[in-house]
Structure 1
Amino acid sequence: MPAIGKLDRRVTIQRASWQQNEFGEDIASWSEVITLWAMRADVRDGERLAAGEVGSRLQARFTVRAFSTTRTVTPADRLRHESAVWDILGVKETAGGRNRFIEITAVRDADA
């Protein structure tokens, strides 16, 4: 359970709404759900080889206060932090948090 002073990163949770364009393709339009303070802990970084190109990924855990809004966050949402977009992998209550804090595990391309 983090001390309140450790929530020193500003993050925004975004949620997609889907619409079809004139070709029948689904297009996501992202809107802000909530902006709040978080604690960031980098979990791992690594390289991957896909289609002959090398890229690197960064994974981190963001701990935020539990509110009714943050309890609705799912892997279908995404997180913005320091102008980078993070894909959410999982959301869970922190150990010993007693529904006070939520931990969001997310990844992004390190090259972005």
Structure 2
Amino acid sequence: MRAAKLDRRLQVRRAAVTDNGFNSSRDWNAADPAADNFGTPIWAQKTDLSDGERWRAGEVAAHVTTRFVVRYSSFSTSIAPTDRIVCEGAVYEITGIKEGEGRRQWLEITCARIA
């Protein structure tokens, strides 16, 4: 992996945690999604892994699985599977994070695009 392939900017979004005394939940700001932005945008490589359509209950549902590769840093290691990623206007839910090629050089973030 070379740094020259990091050609996309992605923004991490983190939900606000609310606690009502009985349980806690993560709430996304639907009125102003940019209010959930966490940190500054970072450079990444984007690779679409798979796509498809399914019929379920008479509806067609499409899904896209994408992998983002980012530099290993203190910020990128703080990204959690409960966060979301925004890249080029599309919103992705994180399904997995793992260390990429080389020891502590890259992180691979696998995501599912939210339709």
TM-score tier (shorter) = 0.7 to 0.9
Q: What is the identity percentage for the equivalent residue pairs of Structure 1 and Structure 2?
A: 39
Counterpart position of 1:56: 62
Q: Is the 8 A contact 2:15 2:26 kept in 1?
A: no
Paired residues, what number? 106
Instruction: Name the CA distance, whole Å, in 2 between partners of 1:61 and 1:90.
Output: 9
The one-letter amino acid paired with 1:73 is I
Spell out the pairing of 1:40-79 with structure 2 (5 A cutoff): 40-79=46-85
Instruction: Name the CA distance, whole Å, in 2 between partners of 1:91 and 1:76.
Output: 11
Counterpart position of 1:19: 18
Q: Kindly report the root-mean-square deviation, in angstroms, between the aligned alpha carbons of the 2 structures.
A: 2.1
1:49, distance to aligned residue in structure 2 (A): 2.4
Residue segments in structure 2 that go unaligned for 5+ positions in a row: 29-35
Instruction: Name the CA distance, whole Å, in 2 between partners of 1:77 and 1:51.
Output: 29
Pick one of 91, 94, 105 that aligns with 1:88: 94
1:50, distance to aligned residue in structure 2 (A): 2.8
Counterpart position of 1:106: 111
Check 1:65–1:48 CA distance in 2 against 1; reply closer, same or farther (3 A cut): same
Instruction: Name the CA distance, whole Å, in 2 between partners of 1:70 and 1:84.
Output: 19
1:39, distance to aligned residue in structure 2 (A): 0.3
TM-score by length of 2: 0.81
Residue segments in structure 1 that go unaligned for 5+ positions in a row: none
